[in-house]
Chains A and B, each alone.
Chain A
Amino acid sequence: GAVVSQHPSWVICKSGTSVKIECRSLDFQATTMFWYRQFPKQSLMLMATSNEGSKATYEQGVEKDKFLINHASLTLSTLTVTSAHPEDSSFYICSARDFEGKRGGTGELFFGEGSRLTVL
Chain B
Amino acid sequence: SQQGEEDPQALSIQEGENATMNCSYKTSINNLQWYRQNSGRGLVHLILIRSNEREKHSGRLRVTLDTSKKSSSLLITASRAADTASYFCATDAVSNFGNEKLTFGTGTRLTIIP
Contact = CB atoms under 8 A, between A and B. Distances in A.
Contact of A114 (B41, B101, B102): B41
A44 B88 contact: yes
| Closest 3 pairs between A and B when the two form their complex, measured CB to CB | A113-B42, A111-B43, A32-B99
A112 B45 contact: no
Task: Bin the interface of chain B by size.
Answer: 20 to 34
Interface string A79-105: 000000000000101010101000000
A49 B48 CA distance: 21
Interface of B: 2, 33, 35, 40-45, 48, 88, 98-99, 101-107, 109
A45 B109 CA distance: 17
Interface of A: 6, 31-32, 34, 36, 41-46, 49, 51, 91, 93, 95, 97, 99, 108-114, 116
